[in-house]
Amino acid sequence: MPAERAAPTFTIARFDKALHDRSGFSCGFAPIDNFLKSSLSDQIKDGMVTAWMATAEGNPAVLGFYTLGAMAVRAAFGPRAWQRARIPDVPVIYIRAVAVREDVQGKRLGTALVVDAMRRCIGIAEQMGAAAMIVDVLDGTHFERRWKFYAELGFRALGDPDNPRRVFIPMADVRATLG
């Protein structure tokens, strides 16, 4: 692996206002940056999401993050097994945001964050029903790269005609991939 592709040394931990410095974070998408800086704390307080931050050893600056929340999607979409359950809505775990600071993008931190989210979701799905992980792939510049990013991690289109950018990976596939 060429040196510039080597994974940076970082830790991923639950968001803590006192430990994580969000002030210098920018991923290139203002809505995501604003969410991190302005809405995240309230959303955590209100029980909407949990958030997980990547930082380099000994430096509080946030290098990347993701958030998780509960969601339901229509059983009519997704794999056939979902229709077998005969329930209208399937419980899933929603990755509301994944982002990496612009100057460290392309160094595998984004992949590491989604893999960390997958491991966490395996644990969550042992405690409550959750059939899949869901992401809405952000529209706009580099959409194809983002789509490829999730496709390579095993996500595929959910098939919701109202939301063609919504992708999912069944928990069974997550378990099979990560063991």
Give 137's DSSP letter.
P
Any contact of residue 166 with ligand COA (CB under 6 A)? no
Size of interface with ligand COA, in residues (CB under 6 A): 22
Six-digit token string for 133: 């992980």
Any contact of residue 98 with ligand COA (CB under 6 A)? yes
Least CB distance from residue 102 to ligand COA, whole Å?
7
Any contact of residue 170 with ligand COA (CB under 6 A)? no
Please give the residues from 46 up to 85 whose contact with ligand COA meets the rule CB under 6 A.
none
Kind and range of the H or E run holding 33: helix 30-34
Task: With beta carbons less than 8 A apart as the criterion, state whether 10 and 109 touch.
Answer: yes
Any contact of residue 108 with ligand COA (CB under 6 A)? yes
Any contact of residue 175 with ligand COA (CB under 6 A)? no
Question: How many Å apart are CA 153 and CA 169, to the nearest integer?
Answer: 9
Stretch that binds ligand COA, among 43-51, 78-86, 121-129, 131-139 (CB under 6 A): 131-139
- CB nearer ligand COA, residue 28 or residue 91: 28
Any contact of residue 167 with ligand COA (CB under 6 A)? no
With 0-12 / 13-18 / 19 or more C-beta atoms within 10 angstroms meaning exposed / middle / buried, residue 60 is middle
Six-digit token string for 175: 């378990």
Rounded to the nearest 10°, the torsion over CA 84, 67, 162, 141 is -140
| Residues engaged in binding ligand COA (CB under 6 A) | 27-29, 32, 98-100, 105-111, 135, 137-138, 142, 145-146, 148-149
